[in-house]
Amino acid sequence: MKQNWFKSGDPWIWLNAGAVAISLILVFGLLGLIAINGFGIFWPKSVITAKYQEPGGKGKQILGEIHDIETISALRISESGVQIPKHKDTFQRYLLKSTRVGTELPFNRYLKYYLKEIKYPKNIVVVERLSGGIFIGYLKGLKNSEGLKNSGRKSTAISNKKLEKQINKKLDRAWALHKKIKVIEKNKIGRLNYRQEELNLLKLKYQYYKEKDQKKYQTIEKELVDIKIQYSRLQSEIGKLRSKINRDVLLVSNHLRDKTEIPVANITRFYFPNRMSVFQKSGLYLQKFWEFISDDPREANTEGGIFPAIMGTVTIVILMAILVTPLGVIAAIYLREYAKQGLLTRIIRISVNNLAGVPSIVYGVFGLGFFVYFIGGGIDSLFFPERASYKPTFGSPALIWASLTLALLTLPVVIVSTEEGLSRVPRAIREGSLALGATKAETLWRTVLPMASPGIMTGLILAVARAAGEVAPLMLVGVVKYSPSPPIDFNAPFIHFDRTIMHLGFHIYDVGFQSPNAEAAQPLVYATAMILVLVIVILNLTAISIRNRLRERFRSLEN
């Protein structure tokens, strides 16, 4: 019976099913771990006040958000030099985030055993700031340039509610002014800067070629003067708006009752986490998540959002797909349909397969040397020689070279998949088309390629999945920590191939390995990694839907 069972092949079916099940569990478990550790950063945390007293040390008052509670062994604690009682084997340890003061790190760990008088005050406020991190303390009042306007009192809850409403009004007013400033800076001043740069480059060109037409110089100089006048006018307008924003100041105090003034212009929001309901926390959670995916980064990428990185990742992947698809398809058509099947063709196929195993950093070094320095430098020397002393146009890392490097990296995948798709087209289809008088090129274009399109899309899906997660080669050919000018804007030609970009993969590397505070960076790394996974999934699902439509369209021809 056992021999018959083994011969029937059932054990191998169960083995394959078990392997698939384990793989799915591991994949979804990993995604769940990333999502929980990453997206949990947006949930409003409870705030505690307590007195921390170690044996032989001075007691101190602490105030902070509870970000983690872990159980740790006594051996690990003793290795760190902290005194602990010998009658316990395990201890609970709190990870608290406090107000950042000077060079002190906001995250600190405290043993619960030494925390006394733990409380969750309802009147604790968390103030999120544009710079300087969060502030945790108590509301004291609100003042403007004319002096104290309102103050928080402990006598009644009504006065505090009125104060909160007034602060919210001031915040709404400040953010309305912030939006006006952002529109002026990004749109109006951005267009002026772009035009000024064009005129300066045009002047360099005339000087390099020794243009003698003085009218052209006068026209350029006149326009530059007009730009300076418009720029000074816009700067004065921004100055007036900033003076209006900086008029209001929030008065707060910390756990030691030391008073602090926070400009309302530097506040994004404030809330009372210890008195919020689950519904209120959920609403705040969605607001924070939306800001994370729609705002620009700040505080050296440790605060704010990741929208430029998302846009850069999508842009570079789409441009890579546009570049690699025709190259891979043409190469596969030649190898399958035109090349003589012999030793040389076999060597080329082996070389293509081996290229898929080359480390990605090698492609980055090649892209830097060939695309950036050789081709880009050659383009600059031929078409933009006047800019050599100013700044290179294409002879420096840029979006186009990063996309070409990724296209070269994923080219073997597209070639192999396209060849597989071409080989699946029945020979009778080709012969029937040729018998009806079509040329070989017409047969390929109108019959073979449409039927092989699902295979081409499969290669493109694999190429997108690999390219979206690459980081090492992009660091050399166009991806930077922060790019002030996005590759896509409203200035003609709208897509700027000569600009550097941000990328989610590099953002993960920068935040995870270059941040001075590992505790603050860890959730951001998880959150950005989950967004990168979602971006790859969306791109792949789009390609898969297109492939399925093509497969259904040409299924009748295959039959």
Tokens of 112: 């619960």
Tokens of 132: 């300087």
Question: Do residues 145 and 559 touch, judged by C-beta distance below 8 A?
Answer: no
Do 311 and 412 lie in a common domain? Answer: yes
Do 329 and 216 lie in a common domain? Answer: no
DSSP code, position 386:
G
379 domain residue, yes or no? yes
What are the beta bridge partners of residue 66?
Answer: 96
pLDDT at 555: 66
Planar angle of CA 373, 378, 380, nearest 5 degrees: 95
pLDDT at 405: 93
Side chain identity, residue 265: A
72 domain residue, yes or no? no
Residue-wise pLDDT for 462-497, tens only, equals 888 888 888 888 888 988 888 877 888 777 777 888
> What is the phi/psi pair of residue 7, to 5°?
-70, -25
Mean pLDDT of 3-24: 80
C-beta contacts of 475-478 below 8 A and 24+ residues apart: 475/364, 475/506, 476/364, 476/365, 476/367, 476/368, 476/397, 477/364, 477/367, 477/368, 477/371, 477/372, 477/397, 477/398, 477/401, 477/402, 477/405, 478/316, 478/397, 478/398, 478/399, 478/400, 478/401, 478/402
Do 357 and 443 lie in a common domain? Answer: yes
Output the domain CATH number for residue 538.
1.10.3720.10
pLDDT at 72 over 80: no
Report the candidate in 319, 323, 308 with the shortest Cα–Cα distance to residue 503. 308
pLDDT at 152: 45
Range of the domain at 478: 307-558
6 domain residue, yes or no? no
Residue-wise pLDDT for 333-343, tens only, equals 888 888 888 88
pLDDT at 156: 36
pLDDT at 1: 53
Q: Could you tell me the pLDDT band of residue 441, with boundaries at 50, 70 and 90?
A: confident
pLDDT at 5: 64
pLDDT at 155: 36
28 domain residue, yes or no? no
pLDDT at 25 over 90: yes
- Of 204, 227, 250, the one marking the end of a domain is 250
Report the candidate in 77, 65, 66, 79 with the shortest Cα–Cα distance to residue 113. 77
What are the beta bridge partners of residue 125?
Answer: 137
Tokens of 393: 């146009």
pLDDT at 452 over 80: yes
pLDDT at 558: 55
Question: Do residues 110 and 93 touch, judged by C-beta distance below 8 A?
Answer: yes
Q: How far apart are CA 511 and CA 509, in angstroms?
A: 6
Strand 267-271 and strand 134-144: the pairing is unpaired
Look at residue 304 and give its three-state secondary structure.
Answer: strand
Tokens 């100055």 map to which residue?
239
Cα 391 to chain center, whole Å?
28
pLDDT at 402: 92
Tokens of 517: 């505070």
Buried b (16+ CB within 10 A) or exposed e, 199-209: eeebbbeeeee
Tokens of 21: 């099940």
pLDDT at 366: 92
Mean pLDDT of 377-381: 85
Do 387 and 524 lie in a common domain? Answer: yes
Tokens of 305: 């959002």
80 domain residue, yes or no? no
Do 548 and 477 lie in a common domain? Answer: yes
Tokens 């597209």 map to which residue?
414
- Of 202, 227, 250, the one marking the end of a domain is 250
Do 183 and 331 lie in a common domain? Answer: no
Q: Could you tell me the pLDDT band of residue 153, with boundaries at 50, 70 and 90?
A: very low
Mean pLDDT of 546-552: 79
pLDDT at 557: 55
Question: Do residues 231 and 199 touch, judged by C-beta distance below 8 A?
Answer: no
Planar angle of CA 410, 416, 418, nearest 5 degrees: 100
pLDDT at 21: 93
Count Cα atoms within 13 angstroms, Cβ side, for 446: 9
Do 356 and 495 lie in a common domain? Answer: yes
Mean pLDDT of 140-159: 54
Do 153 and 225 lie in a common domain? Answer: yes
Do 364 and 479 lie in a common domain? Answer: yes
Q: How far apart are CA 486 and CA 480, in angstroms?
A: 12
Mean pLDDT of 223-235: 89
**Mean pLDDT for the chain overall:** 82
Q: Could you tell me the pLDDT band of residue 196, with boundaries at 50, 70 and 90?
A: confident
Beta strands in 230-320 (DSSP E): 249-253, 259-263, 267-271, 297-298, 303-304
Please give the residue that has the higher pLDDT: either 29 or 7: 29
Mean pLDDT of 109-134: 84
Tokens of 152: 């928080």
For residue 454, say if its preceding peptide bond is cis, omega within 30 degrees of 0. Answer: no
Please give the residue that has the higher pLDDT: either 409 or 392: 409
H helix intervals, 72-112: 74-79
Tokens of 236: 């004065």
**Sign of the C-alpha dihedral, residues 543, 547, 548, 550?**
positive
Tokens of 556: 């009748």
Strand 124-129 and strand 47-52: the pairing is unpaired
pLDDT at 157: 39
Question: Do residues 159 and 153 touch, judged by C-beta distance below 8 A?
Answer: yes
Mean pLDDT of 197-214: 78
239 domain residue, yes or no? yes
Question: Do residues 34 and 55 touch, judged by C-beta distance below 8 A?
Answer: no
220 domain residue, yes or no? yes
Do 329 and 442 lie in a common domain? Answer: yes
| pTM score of the predicted model | 0.84
Do 246 and 335 lie in a common domain? Answer: no
Mean pLDDT of 202-215: 75
Residue-wise pLDDT for 412-438, tens only, equals 989 988 888 888 888 888 888 888 888
User: Which residues, 6+ apart, have CB-to-CB distance to 10 below 8 Å?
Assistant: none
Mean pLDDT of 227-248: 87
Mean pLDDT of 263-288: 88
Tokens of 185: 């800076």
189 domain residue, yes or no? yes
Q: How far apart are CA 460 and CA 418, in angstroms?
A: 9
Cα 335 to chain center, whole Å?
39
How many domains, the chain? 2
Mean pLDDT of 500-527: 82
Q: Could you tell me the pLDDT band of residue 83, with boundaries at 50, 70 and 90?
A: low
Do 237 and 317 lie in a common domain? Answer: no
Report the candidate in 313, 342, 535, 324 with the shortest Cα–Cα distance to residue 417. 324
pLDDT at 6: 66
- Of 210, 227, 250, the one marking the end of a domain is 250
